[in-house]
A and B are shown apart, each in its own frame.
Chain A
Amino acid sequence: MIAAVLADISQSDLLRSLVSGFALGCKYALVALGFVIVFKATGVINFAQASFVLVGGYLTFNASETWGLNFYLALLVAMAGGAAIGMLLEALVLRRMIGEAPFTLVMVTIGVLFIIDNVVTAIWGPDPKNLGDPWGLNVRTVGDVAIADRDIWTIVFTSAVLGAFFLFFRYSSLGLAMRATALDQEAAMAQGISARVVYRVSWGIAGLVAALAGAVLSAGSAALGPTVGLIALVAFPAMILGGLDSPLGAVVGGVIIGIVQQMTALLAPEYLEWAGQGFELVSPYLVMIVILLVRPYGLFGTKEVRRV
């Protein structure tokens, strides 16, 4: 069956879908990395990450178009702004909620999501905007595969962030402190590690990465709008797939989800006609549910030990 299908579609179509799926997956991975770092350090699934992404996109827009900064400088400004918002949220709200039930924490971040998203539309308006990125709709051709410039940059950014995460957790003392806190908070505190600093820094990093994701997601022509944050929700399957607390898992999960989505878009109209239009938009959730039934803690997640 699969062989017949593969023989039926052209090689270049397949390759194009794989490459665009990989680039799409890297976007999801960037969003998922922000989720993972907060979850790893604090155990909170941060729905407000979707609004951090939105704020990041609009901050980039504001810095590059309204203030007229160089785009890459604007991106840095947005990342600093995103980090500030993340830390502010931690200080104002999440700091007071330490130790609450997981679902309570989820709902708090959903409440924050509603507030931030609507403040953003109130400030910048509901109309779609041009981000002001230098990539536009430029396309490069490598062999017989065309790749958009913004996809190349996405892949570069995602690899850079993953690499930076690796170096940070491996070699910096703060990174070591964060790993220790994630492993056993009390033992870490007994060693003189400040859990407060760890929490605040992880929220800051989440905001910073989210701003980058926001810029990447809203690059292109009139792609920045209030719905950019919704794309971040597709990063949930990516994060779950990789396991909630694994940065590498987030990237692998993101890439799997991206490729699944693009392959579904390529194949579903012909082979899964009964599944209806736009099936590729929900296929990530289906993949997620199936994988979770087989591996309840994702591909790279830490298995929770239950003791009496």
Chain B
Amino acid sequence: MAALSGLSGLTAFVRRAPAGGSPHRNLVLDYADDLKLFRGPWRKLGLGLLIFLYLWAPGYFSNYVLGVLTICGVYAVGVIGLNLLTGYAGQVSLGHAFFFGAGGYAAAYLGAQRDWPMLLFLPAAALIGFVVGAVVGPFALRLRGNYLVIVTLGLVFLGEHIWKTWDSVTGGGSGTSLRGASVSIGGLDFRELEIAGSSYEKEQGMFWLVWAIVAIVALLAKNLVRSRAGRAMQAVRDRDLSAEVIGVNLARYKVGAFAWSSALAALSGALYGIVTNRLETGIFTLFLSITFVAMLIIGGVGTIFGSILGALLVSGGQQLIARNSSAFVFDPIIIASPGDSGFLSIGEFNNILFGLFIVVFLMFEPRGLAALWLRAKAWLLTWPFSY
């Protein structure tokens, strides 16, 4: 009898349990189940926890920590975009600094020079990114792999030149300010937020604004990748020739992935502008593109929450090290001030660490931080048969 009950437990994996009996665990029983965004009580609990953190953090953390987290959120939007392109559609790009810059300057021009309201200039920046991406996308139809990498790399250099030259929009070498851009929705000005009689500082308002957008973007991206379009993109990633044979329109999905990805990068650039209030041409370099890819790899290629983890770890890590360079762990290594002990400057230390992270993750954990979590989850779900 014992053996039989073991068998009936097994059938729960393949067939819906008969009426009256239900599996003792939350198992995926059919496709509809598999497509659910928040499946099972644990995920709903996690969602509740995240919402709680979102509301609670700005009251608890210092303005400095909030600033760091806000910048991480800004990058997270761009990394999610890059993930759609690289992680899901399998097209590589070192050109995201260019799209990021296009969005940033669009926001600067429309928001600060033309005085558009935020609800108009943010979508407009994303739209401009979308169009630029759709123009670049067709390259992916003609070029593959390594050639595409180098062409998108060339895009960054061309972009840098455009930003330096087009000074009526970008301010040329001296940069442009977004201080005049409105950051309000209706009566809520996120720079000096007042809700129900209590007023909040700029850092708190920006944290709420940026992470709300991260949440919306993450949800949209998750929605996209679990739909027909998402499956088509993944088919293109796994083997574009086979995808074409089974009827996926390659041109549509490759160009579409570029356009959406670039729209999100542009949105991220626009947010970067309104958070930091200043854009200079020196920001949109190859280094930024590489940072985006590094966040994607370290966080986890092909998972949306991995993108957010990667942005938090890389951007947060860099900012925290720059600030705490004289803390005890770093003190013997980093030269924080002239005459201090150590053998590396902050920038050198940060860059070496950055390079090491990329190499180590690619060699030992190519699917990033997200894979660690997924493995832990699989272990827990299959317990006590986890091995």
Choice from B139, B144, B359 contacting A111 with Cβ under 8 Å? B359
Within 8 Å of chain B (Cβ to Cβ): is A53?
A: no
A277 to B164, CA, bound (A): 9
Say yes or no: B161 contacts A115, CB within 8 Å.
Answer: no
Choice from B92, B160, B351, B362 contacting A108 with Cβ under 8 Å? B362
Binds B, one of A66-74, A203-211, A286-294: A286-294
Give min CB distance, A72 to chain B, whole Å. 32
> CB-CB < 8 A to B150: which residues of A?
45, 236-237, 240, 288
Say yes or no: A285 contacts B165, CB within 8 Å.
Answer: no
A279 to B164, CA, bound (A): 10
Interface of B is mostly: helix
Choice from B158, B294, B349 contacting A282 with Cβ under 8 Å? B158
Say yes or no: B161 contacts A279, CB within 8 Å.
Answer: yes
Within 8 Å of chain A (Cβ to Cβ): is B352?
A: yes
> CB-CB < 8 A to A286: which residues of B?
154, 158
A282 to B158, CA, bound (A): 6
Q: Of residues 347 to 375 in B, which have CB atoms within 8 Å of A's CB atoms?
A: 347-349, 351-352, 354-359, 362-363, 366
A122-B343 contact, Cβ under 8 Å, with A240-B150, A276-B165: yes
Q: Of residues 293 to 311 in B, which have CB atoms within 8 Å of A's CB atoms?
A: 293-294, 297
Say yes or no: A103 contacts B344, CB within 8 Å.
Answer: no
Chain A interface residue number, banded: 35 or more
Within 8 Å of chain B (Cβ to Cβ): is A172?
A: no
Select from chain B the residue with minimum beta-carbon distance to A51: B355
A106 to B358, CA, bound (A): 11
> CB-CB < 8 A to B19: which residues of A?
none
> CB-CB < 8 A to B160: which residues of A?
282
Give the most central of A102, A110, A119, A304: most B CB within 10 Å: A110
Say yes or no: B363 contacts A117, CB within 8 Å.
Answer: no
Say yes or no: A45 contacts B149, CB within 8 Å.
Answer: yes
A106-B149 contact, Cβ under 8 Å, with A115-B352, A119-B352, A279-B161: yes
Give the most central of B166, B343, B349, B366: most A CB within 10 Å: B366
Say yes or no: B165 contacts A111, CB within 8 Å.
Answer: no
Within 8 Å of chain A (Cβ to Cβ): is B131?
A: no
Say yes or no: B165 contacts A103, CB within 8 Å.
Answer: no
A233 to B149, CA, bound (A): 13
A296-B297 contact, Cβ under 8 Å, with A108-B362, A122-B348: no
Within 8 Å of chain B (Cβ to Cβ): is A112?
A: yes
> CB-CB < 8 A to B158: which residues of A?
282, 285-286
Interface of A is mostly: helix
Select from chain A the residue with minimum beta-carbon distance to B91: A103
Say yes or no: A237 contacts B154, CB within 8 Å.
Answer: yes
Say yes or no: B151 contacts A289, CB within 8 Å.
Answer: yes
Choice from A45, A103, A114, A278 contacting B358 with Cβ under 8 Å? A114
A113-B355 contact, Cβ under 8 Å, with A102-B146, A107-B293, A244-B146: yes
A296 to B147, CA, bound (A): 8
> CB-CB < 8 A to A140: which residues of B?
none
Q: Of residues 267 to 293 in B, which have CB atoms within 8 Å of A's CB atoms?
A: 286, 290, 293
Say yes or no: B356 contacts A240, CB within 8 Å.
Answer: no
A106-B366 contact, Cβ under 8 Å, with A275-B165, A276-B165, A279-B161: no
> CB-CB < 8 A to A110: which residues of B?
290, 293, 355, 358
A278 to B356, CA, bound (A): 34
Say yes or no: B348 contacts A104, CB within 8 Å.
Answer: no
Q: Per-position contact with B for A32-64: 1 when CB-CB < 8 Å, else 0?
A: 000000010000010000000000000000000
A279 to B161, CA, bound (A): 7
Say yes or no: A293 contacts B355, CB within 8 Å.
Answer: no
Complex A-B, nearest 7 residue pairs according to Cβ-Cβ distance, in ascending order:
A114-B355, A276-B165, A111-B358, A285-B154, A115-B355, A111-B359, A118-B348
14 A-B pairs with CB atoms under 8 Å apart are A107-B294, A107-B362, A108-B363, A110-B355, A114-B351, A115-B355, A118-B344, A118-B352, A122-B343, A276-B166, A279-B161, A282-B158, A289-B154, A296-B143
Besides the contacts A118-B348, A282-B158, what 17 more A-B pairs have beta carbons closer than 8 Å? A45-B146, A93-B359, A96-B363, A97-B362, A100-B366, A110-B290, A112-B359, A118-B344, A118-B347, A122-B348, A233-B157, A236-B150, A240-B147, A276-B165, A289-B139, A289-B151, A297-B147
